[in-house]
Amino acid sequence: MTTPTPTPILAAGCVLWRPAISGHGIEIALVHRPKWDDWSHPKGKRKRGETAEACALREVLEETGRRCELGPRLPTAHYWVDGRPKQVEYWSARALDGGFVPTKEIDALVWLPPPSARHRLTQPRDRDLLDAALTTPHL
């Protein structure tokens, strides 16, 4: 008899970008999570009945203080956390208005040019996601 696979943790997030302050190219938003001491794209767990799109918009706002406009869908990340599968749906998103306020969950936000953001990201899957975002035609 096989053990059933646990129900996946559903989450969503964005590769958040804005036009560079210099006027040349774009900058990518990365958030720092002190609990894990890592740098990642804004993301989080979906609430019961919440769509992936609504979750992505909410998580970006909660973690970066910025509203955003969803762009193209990006590859979905699949990995395991504490013995459970996790599925994170992602979009490329342009940052709109708002401002960052540090919290217990997210204590820092940086805006970096893509090569610097790629270097700063902790997880290889987040670097792959950034690479995918950079190949979308809207940037």
Given a contact cutoff of 8 angstroms between Cβ atoms, the answer to whether 13 and 76 are in contact is: no
β-pairing, 84-98 vs 66-81, is antiparallel
pTM of the model: 0.94
Please tell me the predicted confidence (pLDDT) of residue 119: 98
**66 pLDDT above the threshold of 90:** yes
In sequence order, the 6+-apart residues with CB closer than 8 A to the CB of 83 are: 6
Amino acid at 76: T
Please tell me the predicted confidence (pLDDT) of residue 136: 86
Task: Tell me the per-residue pLDDT of 3-44, one tens digit each, with 9 for 90 and over.
Answer: 777 899 999 999 999 999 889 999 999 999 999 999 999 999
pLDDT band at residue 139 using 50, 70 and 90 as cut-offs = low
Given a contact cutoff of 8 angstroms between Cβ atoms, the answer to whether 70 and 91 are in contact is: yes
CA dist 138 and 103 (Å) reads 31
Query: In this structure, what DSSP letter does residue 114 have?
Result: H
Please tell me the predicted confidence (pLDDT) of residue 65: 98
